[in-house]
Amino acid sequence: MILTKGLIRNANLTPFKTAILEDEHCYTYGQLAERTAKLKNALKGMGVKKGDRVGLLMQNSFRYIEIFYATTAMGAIVVPLNYRLALEELEYVINDSGLKALFLHQEFLTLIPHLQEKTQSVKNFILAENEGIESNIISYEHLIAKENAKAQDLEYDEVYEEDVAGIFYTGGTTGRAKGVMLTHRNMISNYYQSSVTSFLDSNTNYLHIAPMFHLADGASTVNVTMVGGTHSIAKAFTPRAFLEAVGKYKVTSVTLVPTMINMVLQEPEFDKYDLGSLKRITYGASPMPLALLKKTIGVFPQVQFLQAFGMTEASPALTTLSFEDHLLFATENNQEKLRSCGRAIIGVELKIIDENGNPTVAGQIGEVIAKGPNIMKGYWNMPEETASVIKNGWYHTGDMARIDDEQYIYIVDRKKDMIITGGENVYSPEVENVLFKHADVVEAVVIGVPDEKWGEAVTAIVVKKMGSTITEKEIIDFTRTSLANYKVPKSVVFTDELPKSAAGKILKRNLRDQYWKGISQKVN
Residues whose CB is less than 8 angstroms from the CB of residue 476 and which lie 6 or more positions away in sequence, other chains included: 488, 489, 492
Residue type, 182: L
Peptide bond into 316 cis (omega under 30): yes
Longest CA span, the chain: 72
Whether 336 and 477 share a structural domain: no
| Same-domain status, 497 and 383 | no
Report the distance separating Cα 403 and Cα 252, nearest Å: 32
Domain shared by 64 and 149, yes or no: yes
Same domain? 21 vs 110: yes
Same domain, 290 and 391: yes
Q: Do the domain assignments include residue 322? A: yes
**Buried b vs exposed e over 383-400: b needs ≥16 C-beta within 10 Å?**
eeebeebbeeebbbbbbb
* Ranges of H-type helices in 356-413: 383-389
Domain count, the chain: 2
In this structure, what CATH number is given to the domain that contains residue 292?
3.40.50.12780
CB 87 within 8 A of CB 201: no
Of the residues 401, 434, 466, which one is the last residue of a structural domain?
401
Residues 274 and 165 in one domain: yes
Which of these, 343, 344, 361, lies nearest to 352 by C-alpha position? 361
Note whether residue 409 is domain-resident.
no
Question: Distance (Å, rounded) from C-alpha 321 to C-alpha 309?
Answer: 9
Tally the C-alpha atoms within 13 A of residue 121's C-alpha that lie toward its C-beta.
17
Distance CA 169, CA 354 (A): 28
Q: Does 313 lie in the same domain as 265?
A: yes
Strands (E), 415-454: 419-421, 424-426, 441-451
Reduced DSSP (H G I as helix, E B as strand, rest coil) percent helix, strand, coil of the chain, to 5: 35, 25, 40
Rounded distance, CA 331 to CA 95, Å? 52
Cα torsion 421, 427, 428, 434: sign: negative
Q: What is the extent of the structural domain holding 249?
A: 4-401
Per-residue pLDDT for the chain (524 aa), expressed as one digit of tens each? 999 999 999 999 999 999 999 999 999 999 999 999 999 999 999 999 999 999 999 999 999 999 999 999 999 999 999 887 778 888 999 999 999 999 999 999 999 999 999 998 999 999 999 865 555 688 999 999 999 989 899 999 999 999 999 999 985 434 467 999 999 999 999 999 988 888 889 999 999 999 999 898 989 999 999 999 999 999 999 999 999 999 999 999 999 988 789 889 999 999 999 999 999 999 986 667 788 888 999 999 999 999 999 999 999 999 999 999 998 887 767 788 888 999 999 999 999 999 899 999 999 999 999 999 999 999 999 999 999 999 999 999 988 899 999 999 998 866 667 787 866 767 787 788 889 889 999 999 999 888 876 778 899 999 999 999 999 999 999 998 888 788 899 999 999 999 887 667 788 878 888 887 765 334 33
Question: How far does the chain reach from its first CA to its final CA, in angstroms?
Answer: 48
Residues 388, 440, single domain; the answer is no
Q: Which of 283, 266, 276 is nearest to 246 (CA)?
A: 276
**End of a domain among 347, 367, 401?**
401
